[in-house]
Amino acid sequence: MTLALAGRVLSGRRLTRGELAVADGRIADGAPRGARRALPDGWIVAPALVDLQLNGYAGVEVDGGPEALARIAAALPAIGVTAFCPTLISRSEAGYRRAATALSGCANWPPREWPIGTSPAARVLGVHLEGPFLAPERAGVHPVVALRDPTPGGVDRLLEAFAPAIVTLAPERPGGLEAVRRIARRGVVASVGHTEADARTGRAAIAAGARLLTHALNAMPGIESRRPSALAAFLADPRPCVSLIADGVHVAPEVAAVVARAAGRRLVLVSDAVAAAGAPPGRYRLGRRAVVSDGRRVEWRGRLAGSALGLDEGARTLSGAGVAAAAALTAATWAPRRLLGLPGLEPGAPADLVVLDASLVPRLTLVGGVVALADAALPFDVPEVGAPV
């Protein structure tokens, strides 16, 4: 079957007038005239959102086993997300073994050939290991007792157990820069976060192969006039990406907009969502921590403990703070794809698409050409959820 969506198309960081065609679950060069569907003024068709830092969603955590992961994957397309990295905060050696068992065989990583026309659920990418090689002074909700130095053996054990997509660590820890090199040599994204590093150490980490900064401004020094931090180093260097939780809680919208403009096309929005996201206010768990959500803010003993909001909220927050819609959406769509080497909108790529209205609210989501979200506000008919277009 064939569908062509005509209107504003997000291509790179630009919105252009055009047409995006889907045939047999893949992006196509064109479509018959009868397959064309015009989008309302202001609506956008874009590559679907990709979340590189997601601890949980829809009431469950990513390490809750195959059923929990399936529940998360089924819920995410409603907010336009069709791929995500299950994210693990720091834990004991036994805790990592349990998590590796729970996640074993769940991820399609690395993505050699994504399934087409088989499921409306979001794709599970490689794990994001947020820790345990973090700075105790910037632990946040991570258990300090679980933090450790990145020895070669310790790094290798985690890489073998999880085959992760991303590892976040503090490069100033003893062995930190060698760990960055070790991780990068394996083709894994080494990311700097939960760190006290200054700009000099930040630059050294980039030189060693770090390609990402984890949630800018959170769990790290900010930017001061005469004490440059790792954040300043990553924003100043044109090579690495910078991730940001733009939920309006972790970083004030005005400040998030400043980071977005400084990072430009290197900005990667992440949700840092926990089990409370996509679920009612109440009590949830993050690892072994009991956290409380009011539906927007999640706390553990007065500290922020992830987010109760999804990745789509980040794009809307940036847009509301004055960042161009194209730039805000790019940070949640194209930028994470480039970082992990995922397909975009080239002909033959899987049709993982989202249609958003003028307020950047997802109205239609496709996963490999299968309808995963079909909002009642759509101005044209599409097959029911679970069916190919």
Query: How is residue 78 annotated by DSSP?
Result: G
Average pLDDT of the segment spanning 308-319: 98
Known catalytic membership, residue 272 = yes
Instruction: Kindly give, in sequence order, each residue whose CB lies less than 8 Å from that of residue 378, ignoring residues fewer than 6 positions away.
Output: 355, 363, 364
Token pair 């927007």 is found at 296
Which member of 272, 294, 312, 375 is catalytic? 272
pLDDT band, residue 95 (cuts 50/70/90)? very high
Distance from C-alpha of 313 to C-alpha of 273, rounded to nearest angstrom? 11
Distance from C-alpha of 257 to C-alpha of 318, rounded to nearest angstrom? 6
Cα 56 to Cα 20, 125, 305, 308, 309, distances in angstroms? 32, 14, 12, 10, 11
pLDDT band, residue 58 (cuts 50/70/90)? very high
- Residue 1 pLDDT: 67
In what helix (H) or strand (E) does residue 200 lie, and over which residues does it extend? helix 199-208
Instruction: Give 138-160 pLDDT, tens digit per residue.
Output: 999 999 999 999 999 999 999 99
pTM for the complete prediction? 0.97
Could you tell me if residue 90 is left (phi over 0), alpha (psi between -120 and 50 degrees) or otherwise beta? Answer: beta
Instruction: Give 73-88 pLDDT, tens digit per residue.
Output: 999 999 999 999 999 9
Distance from C-alpha of 280 to C-alpha of 337, rounded to nearest angstrom? 30
